[in-house]
Amino acid sequence: AFSTGHSVLNTYLDALVSELAGLETGEIATYIPQLGLADPKDFGIAIATADGRFCKAGNWDRMVTIQSVSKPFMYGEALRRFGRDTVLTKVGVEPTGERFNSIVLDEANNRAFNPMVNSGAIVTASLLAQDTAARNETSMVDLFSRLAGRRLSIDEDVFASEHETGHRNRAIAWLMLNSGMIEPDPDLVLDLYFKQCSVLVNCADLAAMACTLGTFGRQPVTGEQVFAPEVTRDVLSVMTTCGMYDYAGQWLYDVGLPAKSGVSGMIMAVIPGHMGIAVYSPKLDTVGNSVRGIEVCRRFARDFGLHACTNA
């Protein structure tokens, strides 16, 4: 179990930021043009603990779009609204071993493979896009705000940038429409999907959101029960197997924590029962995971004995 004091943890995180600032490999994502404007030097970490406290280091307060780290929360909301059985008919829980935006579907079951890759996230968004675009947006931003414990908002420039260039996601949505995996209207579904990816968070927001998943759905600062424990169990399970795209197996082997990464350079990881951690650094490896983010989590898990498959 994890019993280190907060001041020890703050010192540890500061040292980690100074040390890993020298790690300058990777590329900033530019396929969403607006993301290409990120500052490669930015590097922040935040931890939120179950008792509602935070440890922060580096540029933890930089506001960045959440991108794919939105996927677990939307999946949780779909489970909450429709239940496991209904959701499972639309999206499974098997890793694809393929890139996050690959055009592969679970044809045997006529569903997407899992909710952590784009196809599965678009199906999940289709379940949640049952109202007007404006009302879908409001309930999504409300949900993310309750998870973070403060009011969040959308970066309209990133949204517009992705809306303009997201042809691959459009192709995935129309392919799934063709096989009856999503309900019309794909434009409404993609509107919600692009918006969920464009919600602005800093590391502390994301750490609080991660911590909420880790503490059985109870937001650590406000005390609100946002998700039921059955929901967070399912979300964390799929994060564990599928959260890091085609690096998920290696990640589980090396780090051993439920996690999710996004193309803006955010990674969140959960230490169930204890805390959420979020790291921001925009340079990505070839899989699309933040280079420094991976290294921070690897060190953190190793230094504190947090791998889920040990009983340290």
Q: Using CB under 6 A as the criterion, what x/- string covers residues 44-83 for binding ligand GLN?
A: -----------------------xx---------------
Which residue's structure tokens are 């779909």? Answer: 78
288 touches ligand GLN (CB under 6 A) = yes
The residue sitting closest to ligand GLN, measured at its beta carbon, is 68
Shortest spacing between CB 166 and ligand GLN, in angstroms: 6
Contacts for 167 with CB less than 8 Å, ≥ 6 apart: none
Which residue's structure tokens are 């678009």? Answer: 122
119 touches ligand GLN (CB under 6 A) = no
Q: What is the DSSP letter of 290?
A: B
Rule CB under 6 A: which of 135-164 touch ligand GLN? Answer: 162
Enclosing H/E stretch for 276 = strand 275-280
> Residue 24 to residues 142, 281, 291: CA-CA distances in angstroms?
36, 10, 8
Q: Concatenated DSSP letters for 22-69?
A: T---SEE--SSGGGGGS-TT--EEEEEETTS-EEEEESTT--EE-GGG
By CB atoms closer than 10 A (0-12, 13-18, 19+), residue 30 is exposed
How far is C-alpha 40 from the geometric centre of its chain's CA atoms? 20
Give whichever of 58 and 288 is closer to ligand GLN, judged by the CB atom: 288
Give whichever of 266 and 306 is closer to ligand GLN, judged by the CB atom: 266
Give whichever of 243 and 272 is closer to ligand GLN, judged by the CB atom: 243
26 touches ligand GLN (CB under 6 A) = no
Cis? peptide before 185, omega within 30° of 0 = yes
Contacts for 158 with CB less than 8 Å, ≥ 6 apart: 32, 34, 35, 65, 197, 198
186 touches ligand GLN (CB under 6 A) = no
Beta bridge partners of 290: 284
110 marked as part of a ligand binding site: no
The one among 16, 152, 259, 263 contacting ligand GLN by CB under 6 A: 263
Give whichever of 49 and 119 is closer to ligand GLN, judged by the CB atom: 119
Give whichever of 71 and 111 is closer to ligand GLN, judged by the CB atom: 71
Shortest spacing between CB 39 and ligand GLN, in angstroms: 18
Give whichever of 12 and 100 is closer to ligand GLN, judged by the CB atom: 100
Which residue's structure tokens are 């489970």? Answer: 79
101 touches ligand GLN (CB under 6 A) = yes
Collapsing DSSP to helix, strand or coil, 275 comes out as strand
246 touches ligand GLN (CB under 6 A) = no
95 touches ligand GLN (CB under 6 A) = no
Shortest spacing between CB 19 and ligand GLN, in angstroms: 26
Write out the two tokens for 118: 């784009």
Site size for ligand GLN (CB under 6 A): 11
Shortest spacing between CB 141 and ligand GLN, in angstroms: 16
Q: Which residues are part of the catalytic machinery?
A: 68, 71, 193, 245, 263
Positions touching ligand GLN (CB under 6 A) are: 67-68, 100-101, 118, 162, 169, 197, 262-263, 288
List binding-site positions: 68, 118, 162, 169, 193, 245, 263
